[in-house]
Amino acid sequence: MADTAYISLGSNLGDRDAILSRARTAISEIDGVEVIQATQVEETDPVGPIAQGRFLNQMLAVSTKLSPHELLTALQGIEHFEGRERTARWGPRTLDLDIVMIDNVEMSDEVLTVPHPEIPNRDFWQRELEELRGARNGR
């Protein structure tokens, strides 16, 4: 049985458009994952205490047969391929892929919390979730 997961894509280093494009393609090529819908790309201010450039962000709705941890591992592999370095929390990055929500899944452990605890602090995530979930429910 497949679940619907919502994945946030963000980039504020390098050729942001090209990085997001490659990330969308890479996500669509993960075995057991099918991209079913995408929001428009939008530019947003960074969140957190570190001064840095603006982000390009987008959210995908995907149908996945992967467990949350398998999906996270696949997404982190894509980040690594795009040169993501985990140095400073909330620092600049070539690519940030977050599992924001998975329909009917609530979990938390040392590596993953679903739904993502930062949803209330990111207006653009809330808008994007509303857009994707509303479209899936015929709104």
Active centre residues (catalytic): 84, 93, 96, 98
**Cβ contact 99:114 at 8 Å:** yes
By the 10 Å C-beta count (0-12 exposed, 13-18 middle, 19+ buried), 117 is classed as exposed
| Tokens encoding 111 | 């590596």
